[in-house]
Amino acid sequence: MKNRAFVRNLLLLLLSVSLIGGIAYLLIRSPRVTSTDRCEAVTVEVKTEAGGEPLFLTGDRITDELARRGIQLRGKRLDSIDLRKIERTLLSMPIYKRAEAFIAPSSSSVQIRLTEKHPLYIVQEASGKSYYVTQGKGTITVNPTFAAYLPIVSGAVDLKMATGPVYDLMAALREDPYFTDYFGQVYVDETDGIVLIPRIGTTRVIIGRESNWSEKLRKWRIFAESVLPKRGMNAFSYVNLDYGTQIIARSRYAPEGETFDEEGEVVAAPAPAPAPAPSPKPAPAVS
């Protein structure tokens, strides 16, 4: 037993010595920043919360923005660069969720890693206030310095509606590949509720205020695929999907409206009731 304990302790000692030696070697061999080293390059990596390419600023524009805010990196001594200040400055821009800056001595460069918030659409309130609504129902004030091409929501809309019914509707549109890029504008009408404007055509698609968005979008797709090819993309001034199982459409070229069922077929209007027969006149009195 004593021999086994001795061997175990010896092995632990050798392992510890090896680890200490390895760490010391790495410390000795690792490049260190000296007072003469200067920043030769700035590398910026931007990822988004949802993946894909960043929507706002490219890497070059980010370094330009830092310079505009008084942070010039190229040519500056590496040991004098305030990395925390870089991070704070970038996070003061509301488009970023996370920021990390560090020095890479081996390449005499500053490395910046950013996570961009994911904007979904732009809201333009009647008051003139404009902002992006982001994933998770956050907002970013629209700024000409950083702009993204996104669907626009306008009209009688406020923050509560923009991050409530409108947010849920936009989520339903993104979930269906058919509607990913179908509508170019969302308008909130004080009377009709939410109105969608397709990118092709001028028909106002009234979707209302109720939240069964997926069902209403299903009705519109049936209508668009079965009725519009026969009548024309601009045959109707509006199509109202906010009538239960029916679709009400107003022809652009006739004063009458039409009613369609869920399969896109015209529902015949009920025949007018026959006019009541005239009451017989009383016979003249005989004297």
Q: Read off the DSSP letter of residue 120.
A: E
Percent of the chain past pLDDT 70, that is, above it, reads 76
**Is-above-0.75 flag for pTM?**
no
- What domains are there in the chain, each with its CATH number? 41-116 (3.10.20.310), 158-260 (no CATH)
pLDDT at 16: 65
Measured at the CA of 58, the angle between CA 54 and CA 64, to 5 degrees, comes to 145
Tell me how far apart the alpha carbons of residues 42 and 34 are, in angstroms, rounded to a whole number. 18
What's the CA gap between 216 and 279, in Å, rounded?
A: 49
pLDDT in tens, 18-38: 666 555 544 444 445 555 689
Contact 122, 150 (CB under 8 A): yes
* pLDDT given for residue 28 in this prediction: 44
What per-residue confidence (pLDDT) applies to 41?
A: 92
Whether 150 and 120 have beta carbons less than 8 Å apart is answered as yes
Question: What are the distances in angstroms from CA 70 to CA 43, 58, 60, 100?
Answer: 18, 19, 16, 18
**Is residue 273's pLDDT more than 50?**
no
DSSP state of 158: -
In 3D space, the residue among 200, 56, 30, 202 whose CA is nearest the CA of residue 119 turns out to be 56
Tens of pLDDT, residues 65-110: 999 999 999 999 999 999 999 999 999 999 999 999 999 988 899 9
Residue 32, exposed/middle/buried by CB under 10 A (0-12, 13-18, 19+)? exposed
Look at residue 121 and give its three-state secondary structure: strand
Q: Which amino acid is at 156?
A: A
